[in-house]
A and B are shown apart, each in its own frame.
Chain A
Amino acid sequence: MFGGFDNSYSPMWHNGPKPGAFYNFPATSTSSPKDEKQRDSQPITTGSSVIAFKYDTGVVISADTLISYGKLLRYRNVDRVFKVNDHTIIGVGGEYADFQFIKKYIDQKVTEDYCYDDNLQLKPKSLFNWLTRVLYNKRCRFAPLWIDIVIGGLQDGVPFLGHVDHRGRAYEDAAIATGYGKHLALPLIREKIENQTETLNAERAVELSKSCMEVLFYRDCQSYPQYKIATCDGQGARVDGPINVAQNWEQALNV
């Protein structure tokens, strides 16, 4: 059943049975593929990259407004970054239907916090950990929610940024990007936050976000020249946009 590991990475253990494949001797297989639930597990309507990073007093997440259907630019004005509450923002890529499914429960949590009226609100770390558990649970049931979600915000006044994928793999970092953003935008962001000569304030962070979205639009064929930027700092959380990419095709002559 779990013998079908792909070969794209080197095996962790050599000269032994694969995990879970120990008793599957030929012709005495304990489980046939027909016993398993057959599920098509691939994203259909997808969002592309999300880019996010911390600046001195907060966090910024940005993503374009496109949802693709394969290579078709299917929905061109859909939000992929959201304000959850005053100190939590999220950005999402991957299967959008799966995200809408999970967003319903996040909204429910926010409403619940409001109804309790005790000045306690969902903090980014709590949402991050909760998503980790939900997505891991779904992957264990072989029915993954195929989303790449970035959670940002202020955790007791300190900037927080984390990423969870469809398997429940989670990590925190000062700069996070998904999809093509990982290849194209992350090096630009890391350059700015690691070799900093001047502190990265809110204004510079938004500028950096904008230049990353411009680069992404030029090179990612499934991107769109319209995007939104969510920021969260001491002044609260907000989503700005839609912003249009300041396109400059003059430089195309030099490429």
Chain B
Amino acid sequence: MLSIEDFPEYQIPGAKQVRFNPYESNGGSVVAIAGDDYAIIAADTRLSSGYSIHTRHQDKSFKLSEKTVLASTGCWCDTLSLASLIKARMQMYEHLHNKKMSTTAVAQMLSILMYNRRFFPYYVSNVLAGIDENGEGVVYSYDPIGHCERKKYSAGGTAGPLLQPVLDSQVGLKNQVGVERSPIPMERAKAIIRDTLISAAERDIYTGDGVIFNIITKDGIKQERIDLRKD
């Protein structure tokens, strides 16, 4: 059937055909810091689009194993699908190899699953945190088409660009001379995450309501919550 695109000379400048947009930004921020023998990953609990808040209590972290937690923000429908796909693949791995998937293996798999949708990407900002095979805390961050990088700390989501420089300064101690570079204690990491997310809630309308921390150690995963501003 002929449509207006077939007659470019009749097209009105400025008039645009509205097509279905499969994506939607549902907001949210994630911060993760890894220490020598632990990793902490925290995400806010606001799920919104535009100016409306859908829920104030959305846990954006997914416990993938006793050693790995994924926190994911962006297009929430993509997040849900991706998380359940990862869980299914991890179960398949366990049945096939008769062992749990390590954090590094999950990190690599996530990259592949993301790249698999290269031309219709999952519109999500992923941060994966956990304990690796050597018992060391790790953080992996991703871009929406599957680029993967191993780090010690990372921030993602709508306030990611706001938070990352703070982490570079406070955790990475970047461009500072004469500072003592010692392993970061867990309480300090927790305080930094708490402070950064409180600051993010001040400036980013898509971040707020609350924070859920996942503290990953060799003894398992512990969840903690704090409140953020709700406006």
Contacts and interface: CB of A to CB of B under 8 A. Distances in A.
A144 B125 CA distance: 24
Contacts of B158: 10, 12
A20 B55 contact: no
B120 A140 contact: yes
Interface-central residue, A13, A14, A33, A171, by most chain B CB under 10 Å = A171
Interface of B: 3, 5, 18-26, 47, 49-50, 52, 54-55, 57-58, 74-77, 80-81, 118-121, 123, 125, 143-145, 157-158, 160-161
Given A2-B120, A4-B21, A12 B50 contact: no
A68 interface: no
Nearest to B1: A38
Given A41-B19, A168-B77, A171-B55, A13 B50 contact: no
A83 interface: no
A173 to B, nearest CB: 4
Contacts of A74: none
A173 B209 CA distance: 14
B54 to A, nearest CB: 6
Contacts of B75: 167, 169
A76 interface: no
Contact of B77 (A8, A14, A169, A182): A169
Contact of B52 (A19, A144, A170, A182): A182
A42 interface: yes
Contacts of B22: 139-140, 142, 144, 167
9 contacts: A2-B120, A12-B158, A20-B119, A20-B120, A33-B5, A34-B5, A139-B77, A169-B26, A170-B77
Contacts of A142: 20, 22
Nearest to A34: B5
Interface residues of A, number: 36
Interface-central residue, A132, A163, A167, by most chain B CB under 10 Å = A167
B154 to A, nearest CB: 14
Given A132-B80, A136-B77, A19 B5 contact: no
B77 A173 contact: no
The 7 A-B pairs of least Cβ separation, nearest first, read A41-B20, A168-B77, A19-B121, A173-B55, A169-B77, A9-B25, A167-B77
Given A14-B161, A33-B5, A170-B77, A20 B24 contact: no
A22 B144 CA distance: 12
Interface-central residue, A4, A9, A41, A136, by most chain B CB under 10 Å = A9
Contacts of B160: 12
A171 B58 contact: yes
Given A12-B25, A132-B80, 14 more contacts: A2-B120, A2-B121, A4-B21, A5-B21, A5-B23, A9-B24, A10-B158, A13-B144, A20-B145, A33-B5, A39-B19, A41-B20, A140-B22, A140-B120
Contact of A9 (B50, B77, B118, B157): B50
Contacts of B24: 9, 167, 169
A183 interface: yes
Contacts of B49: 9
B59 to A, nearest CB: 10
A142 to B, nearest CB: 6
Contacts of B120: 2, 20, 140
A29 to B, nearest CB: 13
A6 interface: yes
Interface in A1-42: 1-2, 4-6, 8-10, 12-14, 19-20, 22, 33-34, 38-39, 41-42
